């Protein structure tokens, strides 16, 4: 795993993610039933657009996102106190070949990770009643796949209601399928890039070694 020490949401963070599949979107590559997702082609076109233009396709901040950012520190303090664990803030984690990545909210100790949700009251109630943790299965397993960690906690936090905390273990069957589908997806992504290059469309961030030097201060 390669860790880029950039601030999540910053220009550098957006640039690091340009044109590569990330765990938060793995559900558009693999379904809960371990089948290829029908959304994969559309997601690939989105990534190719980012690669071609050198700009993120979805760079906006909603009211819920802003609330999540402002409440996240409170959620982390709660988690660290209740779990008696130290957490580590990271920017962007890449697979060793730099072709896929994830943005953990926190890494926990030596073996875990943490995903923080600060949803609406309606969604938080759903967490308390047992859902929708399954909706994030691909994202969580993707984070475990990239980081090599053993477990991942999902914390839904609302300052006015009890929190919901669910620990997810590695699903090796899912991770094996994910790895296979990612290989197919990335191979196809490479082929499509060559087609675009033939049309004189070239990506803005081709030299990943030079790009990484930005973050390492070389």
pTM for the complete prediction?
A: 0.86
pLDDT 10s digits, 31-54 = 999 999 999 999 999 999 999 988
Mean pLDDT confidence for 67-91: 88
- Count of CA atoms in the C-beta half-sphere (13 A) of 201: 13
Domain count for the chain, please give it.
1
**Residue 207: per-residue pLDDT:** 44
**What pLDDT was estimated at residue 68?**
53
Residue-wise pLDDT tens digits, 21-33? 999 999 999 999 9
Structural domain of residue 158, as residue ranges? 2-216
Q: What whole-number distance in Å separates Cα of residue 163 and Cα of residue 150?
A: 23
What CATH number is associated with residue 41?
3.90.320.10
| Mean pLDDT across the chain | 88
d(CA 72, CA 79): 10
Lowest-confidence region among 26-30, 136-140, 209-213: 209-213
For the record, the structure tokens of 208 come out as 């990943």
């Amino acid at each position: 795993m390669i860790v880029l020490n950039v601030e999540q949401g910053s220009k550098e963070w957006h640039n690091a993610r340009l044109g590569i599949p990330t765990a938060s979107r793995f559900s558009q590559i693999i379904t809960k039933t371990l089948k290829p997702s029908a959304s994969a082609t559309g997601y690939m076109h989105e990534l190719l657009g980012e690669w071609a233009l050198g700009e993120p396709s979805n760079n906006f901040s909603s009211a819920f996102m802003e609330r999540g950012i402002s409440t996240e520190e409170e959620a982390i303090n709660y988690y660290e106190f209740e779990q008696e664990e130290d957490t580590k803030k990271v920017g962007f984690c890449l697979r060793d070949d730099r072709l896929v990545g994830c943005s953990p909210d926190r890494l926990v100790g030596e073996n875990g990770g943490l995903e923080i949700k600060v949803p609406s009251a309606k969604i938080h109630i759903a967490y308390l009643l047992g859902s929708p943790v399954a909706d994030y299965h691909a994202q969580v397993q993707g984070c475990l796949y990239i980081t090599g960690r053993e477990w991942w906690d999902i914390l839904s936090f609302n300052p006015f209601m009890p929190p919901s905390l669910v620990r997810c273990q590695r699903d090796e069957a899912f991770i094996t399928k994910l790895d296979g589908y990612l290989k197919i997806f990335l191979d196809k992504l490479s082929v499509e890039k060559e087609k675009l290059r033939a049309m004189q469309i070239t990506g803005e961030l081709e030299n990943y070694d030079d790009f990484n030097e930005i973050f390492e201060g070389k």
